[in-house]
Amino acid sequence: MFEKTRRKLTLFYGGIAALLLLVMVFFFYFSLSFVITANVKASLQSLTAKIGHESREHHFFDWEPDKPPPPPDKGKGRKGRVDWDFLQPTQFAFVRGPAGGPPITSLGESQVQLAQKVNDFVSQQPLEPGEMEQIQITVDSTTKTYAIFRAQIDGMDPSDAIVYFGADITSMDQLLDQMQLLLTITAVLLLGLGTAAGYFFAGRAMVPITQAYKRQKEFTADASHELRTPLSVMLSSTEILAEKKESLPPFHQTVLTGMMDEITRMIRMVENLLSLARSETDAAELPHDEQEHFDVGQMAWEVCTQMHGSAAQKGVQLTLADEKTTLVPLPFHGNKDQIRQLLYILIDNAIKYTDSGGFITVSVTAVKYKKIKIVVKDTGCGIPEEDLPFIFERFYRIDKGRSRATGGTGLGLSIAAQIVAKHKGKISVESKLQKGTTFTVLLKDH
């Protein structure tokens, strides 16, 4: 139980740590991406003033639409027009002239393919002034990342010319990819270390809780064990007195009957507490030496036969849904005594809360995936919907007065749930007031 709680705590805090690391990684990555993008845009935007100065000084954009610009001078861009010396080696300029005019670019003859692809891009997806876009261009089987920025030159009519600046940012793009990989690996490592540390410290933090719970279980077991003897002596004494019951006055007979009922109820409660304490002291799984093969259908028939007397005394009809179950083997591997106790608890509980004239039906069937389904259905008083989530808790009783009248201790269903959990099964309940209750148990044969 504590190991399960420890894992849940580790999972909970590990989830929080993972969320924080995820937020941190995204924040750092997008912050770095934003800073790099802003720097690239600022560097390209700074070229606007320089090309504006060149255009005013050398009348760079003054050419007639029906005449192409002068041919490029080697290494100097346009002859007599402008020098591209203000551009970095990774930067280029691309100018689209008036409609129908050929573009002007700082890209040399060896970069004709790049110039063509840039021209295709700005033709198909024209940018707004001051806008920048990142694109990937493949030239000679090599894919690179470029930033394209549309300059906004003061005093220049966009119909005269549209100026674009570009920069090769492949190295920065690769840096972001590497940083993303590094952040992911770091986050995974930190999460693993944090989870391991959380599991360790969760175990350390639960040591005092485990010790206190262990002492409580030991006290319950010891107290229950010690109480059995005096209660048995008291019951024997009252049984001896009961032999002379007829000679006692009516009031003393009533007192004696009440004492016997209360002592019997206390003995049952002590036995249930001892059963719970022993069960919790055992390992989470059934020890191998406590498991055996047996027929659940045959066992259900035997328990129903034994409980017929109690049901008949209450005026309740108890039946096995399919008597042929005893002829069809339903093999199961588990603790035979505990499964018998489970059937007894569920049937006894149904008898207690079903009034005279009611019906109780027990069925045991094989279902797919090697599972055995046990259903105990009654037509009793039912359970309020708000109480259903709590009926497997210890000492929980819906009607405490009625439970005392029927001799209930509030521990039976808790023991039943624990038996089912020990066998890695599931127990569920459905109920409607004044219509009855159905308990369903699924056990998987291993």
- For residues 119 and 258, membership in a common domain is answered with no
- For residues 140 and 228, membership in a common domain is answered with no
Residues with Cβ within 8 Å of 122's Cβ and at least 6 positions away in sequence, in order, are 94, 96, 148, 162, 164
- For residues 301 and 397, membership in a common domain is answered with yes
- For residues 274 and 304, membership in a common domain is answered with no
C-alpha to C-alpha distances, 109 to 106, 113, 349, nearest whole angstrom: 10, 9, 95
What's the rounded mean pLDDT across residues 297-311? 90
Least confident of 169-173, 253-257, 405-409: 405-409
Query: Is position 428 within any domain?
Result: yes
Q: State the pLDDT confidence band at 370, using cuts at 50, 70 and 90.
A: confident
Query: Is position 196 within any domain?
Result: no
CA 22 to chain centre: 17
Backbone dihedral region of 248: left (phi > 0), alpha (psi from -120 to 50 degrees) or beta? beta
- For residues 87 and 232, membership in a common domain is answered with no
Q: Which pTM value belongs to this model?
A: 0.50
Query: Is position 296 within any domain?
Result: yes
Asked if residue 18 lies in contact with residue 191, where contact means CB atoms within 8 angstroms, the answer is: yes
Domain that holds residue 255: 208-281
Residue 78 in this model has a pLDDT that exceeds 50: no
Q: What is the CATH number of the domain that holds 72?
A: 3.30.450
Backbone φ, ψ for residue 397 (5° rounding): -135, 135
Q: Tell which wins on pLDDT, 431 or 140.
A: 431
Please tell me the predicted confidence (pLDDT) of residue 42.
Answer: 92
- For residues 219 and 165, membership in a common domain is answered with no
Q: Which residues pair with 139 in a beta bridge?
A: 142
Last residue of a domain, one of 230, 262, 281: 281
Residue 108 in this model has a pLDDT that exceeds 60: yes
* 283-320 b/e (C-beta count within 10 Å ≥ 16 → b): eeebeeeebeebbbbbbbbebbeebeeebeebebebeb
Q: What is the CATH number of the domain that holds 300?
A: 3.30.565.10
Last residue of a domain, one of 248, 266, 281: 281
> How many structural domains is the chain composed of?
3
Query: Is position 32 within any domain?
Result: yes
- For residues 115 and 36, membership in a common domain is answered with yes
- 106 secondary structure, DSSP code: S
- For residues 268 and 326, membership in a common domain is answered with no
Residue 429 in this model has a pLDDT that exceeds 60: yes
Q: Is 183 helix (H, G, I), strand (E, B) or coil?
A: helix
Query: Is position 437 within any domain?
Result: yes
- pLDDT tens digits for range 167-222: 999 999 999 999 989 998 988 898 888 888 888 888 887 788 777 767 766 776 67
Please tell me the predicted confidence (pLDDT) of residue 98.
Answer: 61
Last residue of a domain, one of 176, 197, 229: 176
Q: Is 146 helix (H, G, I), strand (E, B) or coil?
A: strand
